A and B are shown apart, each in its own frame.
Chain A
Amino acid sequence: MLESKTYRFSFLFLLLILVLVFTLNISSGSVSIPINETINALFGGTLQNESWSYIIWDYRIPKALTAILVGAGLALSGLLMQTLFRNPLAGPFVLGISSGASLGAALLIMGSSVLASFFSFGLINDISLAIAASIGSFLVLMVVISVATKVKDTMALLIIGLMFGSITSAIVSVLSYFTNAEKLQQYIYWSYGSLGNLSWRQLGLLFALVLAGIFLSILSIKSLNAMLLGENYARSLGVNMKTSRYLIIIATGILAGSITAFAGPIAFVGLAVPHLTRQIFNTTDHRILMPAVLIYGAILMLICDTIAQLPTSANVLPINAVTSIIGAPVVIWLLIRKRKMMF
């Protein structure tokens, strides 16, 4: 708070980078569109090439906006979890929240065909998928939090997260055995993670959900800061731990759940971005960390997506693979550099 000027400068700088990578992301892809034409399109100008305008507005901008929402939301949910669980390794992926979302999605996509004789909800639309994945991630989060209050050992939590991953993959393989090829393909495609499948309408829904998650997180800023001291100290500072904990869990569930539902499970962003942000901003204050993590997450996701495009190639890598390839070394580097990971 004392150095608010330097923070303002850092934020301006970050926003500038965000705009830069956003533009870069839109201009690159299987069809290469020159940067100046991209900027022209963004400001509503007419392009020399009619198809470029179509590509930019109906495909690339929704995809870039999805990347921003996904990166920002996952990074924020990682930050919330690291503080809530007092664990630097916490994140939507590690704690099994993404697995929970996958399970919800798998049950909906493949389970509906298995259980078709009992239920006749043949239509799997984006909203039901989002709800199923959110419920899945939410349930896992509730289990994790109930264990966390009983078991003080953070190691146990991580193992539980791993176990949920195993249970998910087991149930998915059972389901895939009984389901038809089309549904299986739909699920596997979803599980690769993808930013490019969202229509403007779906994007609006995701935007609303991420915004709700951010809103709840902002309400929790003060309690999150107090929680840095530990639960008993936080309570002694007047924090209503029960309410705050639920608020944070709901925020995390909405963020991780809805994002995983729309974009598939995306690893490492939630874990790595908060740590990178703490390194660069050198603070633990959530008033600074929260906006910083949102912007960083968005930047990182846009960069990952740009890499996934493989410029000038028609192939697109699964986004989940790219974030892992970039994210895992970052975590290792942080561990080696600081020797101890802290939150």
Chain B
Amino acid sequence: MAANHDNITFSVRDLAIGYSLKKEKALIASNINFDTIKGELTAIIGINGIGKSTLLRTLGKVQPKLSGVVELNGKSLDNYKPIELAADLSLVLTEPIASKNMTVAELLALGRSPYTNWLGALSKEDVLKVEDAIQQMELAKIQHKKCYELSDGQLQRVMIARALVQDTAVILLDEPTTHLDLYHKVQILKLLKSIAHRTNKTIVFTTHEIEIAIQICDKILVLDGTVNAFDKPNKLIEQKAFDTLFPSDTVFFDAQNGSFKIKE
């Protein structure tokens, strides 16, 4: 685990996440500690409502943290200006895009916004990045389609491609595989893994697909609100981190197969 210091992207210490409503603070999860490394695919898993999305949105500075430290590339997330963060971190959120009247190519080009001039004109390099993402995510056939014509899976691929176009060291994805069938889930996650390994990016995503995550991810954060174990999947199995993930009256974790079984 002794990772080279230069390789650390996110460094999270004693993080508490939740919502501040007026003067009250609604704590969702606390005591979150982990480091992400360049070139690794990390999954955040946990039961519904435990705060997976909240954590991801906090890491992406979409919403403020309650307390603790979040550093990105050695610099506190609080000190990042929007334009600086845009060059270091890209997002794929669950919320629908505002205008589905855009073509895929137009949407992808917006990913270059942090680097373009005040009018947003694309340079040759920008066009290359867009073309590269189109090829990686296999979007050539649909690049001139409008977003409202796409299926959920296609749109998801487009949104991931947009994050690739932004060309950041870190990509955060909130439930990138929901609404997809098993084949497309695995396809997307395998693609994310190969991108992380090939381009040395840190990719973090939230998911409900624990069994697939165990097989594919380099690291997993098991969010339970208190312990929040973070390690390689096989280590987590040894630590029995998955055993207490769900209430024991319905499903149990079969460590041998790395999968959940329904209790008779």
Contact = CB atoms under 8 A, between A and B. Distances in A.
Interface string B85-100: 1110111010111111
Interface in B124-150: 148
A317 B118 CA distance: 44
B122 A1 contact: yes
Interface stretch (B109-117, B218-226, B249-257): B109-117
A238 B86 contact: yes
Contacts of B95: 230, 232
A40 B75 CA distance: 69
Contact of A342 (B85, B100, B103): B100
A237 B60 CA distance: 11
B206 interface: no
Contacts of B99: 83, 86, 228-229, 284, 342-343
A238 B82 contact: yes
A91 B211 CA distance: 50
Contact of A229 (B87, B107, B116, B120): B107
A154 B223 CA distance: 35
A80 to B, nearest CB: 14
Interface in A121-147: none
Interface residues on A, range: 20 to 34
Nearest to B89: A236
B119 interface: yes
A226 B87 contact: no
Contact of B113 (A2, A86, A237, A241): A237
Interface string A182-226: 000000000000000000000000000000000000010110011
Interface in A1-57: 1-2
Contacts of B118: 219, 222
Question: Which of B82, B86, B90, B118 is packed against the most chain A CB atoms within 10 Å?
Answer: B82
Interface of A: 1-2, 83, 86, 219, 221-222, 225-233, 235-241, 278, 283-285, 287, 340, 342-343
Given A221-B119, A287-B119, 13 more contacts: A222-B116, A222-B120, A226-B110, A229-B98, A229-B110, A235-B62, A236-B86, A236-B90, A237-B111, A238-B84, A278-B101, A284-B99, A342-B100
A228 B85 contact: no
Contacts of B89: 236
A240 B96 CA distance: 20
Question: Which of A236, A284, A343 is packed against the most chain B CB atoms within 10 Å?
Answer: A236
A238 B106 contact: no
A236 B102 CA distance: 18
A221 B89 CA distance: 23
Interface of B: 60, 62, 82-87, 89-91, 93, 95-103, 105-107, 109-111, 113-114, 116, 118-122, 148, 166
A283 B166 CA distance: 21
A284 B119 contact: no
Given A86-B98, A236-B85, A342-B99, A284 B60 contact: no
Contact of B102 (A1, A228, A238): A228
A1 B91 contact: no
B118 to A, nearest CB: 6
Given A1-B109, A228-B98, A240 B82 contact: yes
A235 B80 CA distance: 12
Given A1-B122, A227-B98, A237 B110 contact: yes
16 contacts: A1-B121, A222-B118, A227-B98, A228-B97, A228-B110, A229-B98, A229-B99, A230-B97, A237-B113, A238-B113, A238-B114, A241-B82, A278-B101, A287-B119, A287-B121, A340-B148
A284 B106 contact: yes
